[in-house]
Amino acid sequence: MIELVGIRRSYALGGETIHALDGIDERIESGEHVAVMGPSGSGKSTLLNVIGCLDRPTAGSYRLDGREVAGLSDAELARIRRREIGHVFQAFHLVPRMSALENVELGMLFDSIPPRQRRERALAALASVGMGPRAGHRPGELSGGERQRAAIARAVVTRPRVLLADEPTGNLDQTSGRAVLELLDGLHAAGFTVVIVTHDPGVARRAQRVLLMRNGRIVRRMPASELRTLDEALAGAAP
């Protein structure tokens, strides 16, 4: 379970303070599938980075399964990122000189997992996303959809409970994007808590509910089935 209370994230930029997150209160239950939408600069990715322990809040409380994580050390946050939270990014973030298999193994290098077990688990993760036959190929030899599937395999190989996806179909064609979304749907059905940032209402409607952001705040919460367009949804939000 993810619980955010009074979360703020501010940056100093050119002598001015920018409030990327301005008092976020939200609770995401275990096993939920939540989409986050909003205009550019609304704080969507910053929120995801705070939830994913890639960034620290300036103020507020963040509890993950009842444990306060906002004040943990860098080493403790790294351990949470490795074991409890999987990340999927728009740009894939695969190491170009490594094969898909080696990229997936990277997620386990710091957890004292024996090499043979790492290899077995990485192969199983790639097979689970339909990438078994492409395990030996480097990212430059893979299509965009294949790279994203390899990135998903890397995100889940450590068996986390939470999967965070930031515009995971943003660099993909329609067919590849649909395949990736079906994988994410399947992971949610298998018990993962999935939080996805997207600008696409069609992607957001696959979630259970949608958080709408504007100016660093959550201004509306709604069932995903009721979402039509972002502009229409924001028109009905609090100012």
pLDDT tens, position by position, 100-134: 999 999 878 877 789 999 999 999 999 999 999 99
Answer left, alpha or beta for residue 78, where phi above 0 means left and psi between -120 and 50 means alpha.
Answer: alpha
Query: Which residues have a Cβ under 8 Å from the Cβ of 97 and sit 6 or more positions away?
Result: 138
pLDDT tens, position by position, 140-184: 999 999 999 999 999 999 989 999 999 999 889 999 999 999 999
Q: What is the enclosing helix (H) or strand (E) of 117? A: helix 115-128
How many other CB atoms are there within 10 angstroms of residue 7's CB atom? Answer: 24
pLDDT score, position 103: 96
Q: What is the enclosing helix (H) or strand (E) of 238? A: none
Mean pLDDT, to the nearest integer, of 83-110? 92
Sorting pLDDT into bands at 50, 70 and 90, what band is 57? very high
Whole-angstrom CA distances from 125 to 18, 29, 118 are 40, 25, 10
Q: Specify the residue for token string 């190929």.
A: 137
Sorting pLDDT into bands at 50, 70 and 90, what band is 185? very high
How many other CB atoms are there within 10 angstroms of residue 97's CB atom? Answer: 10
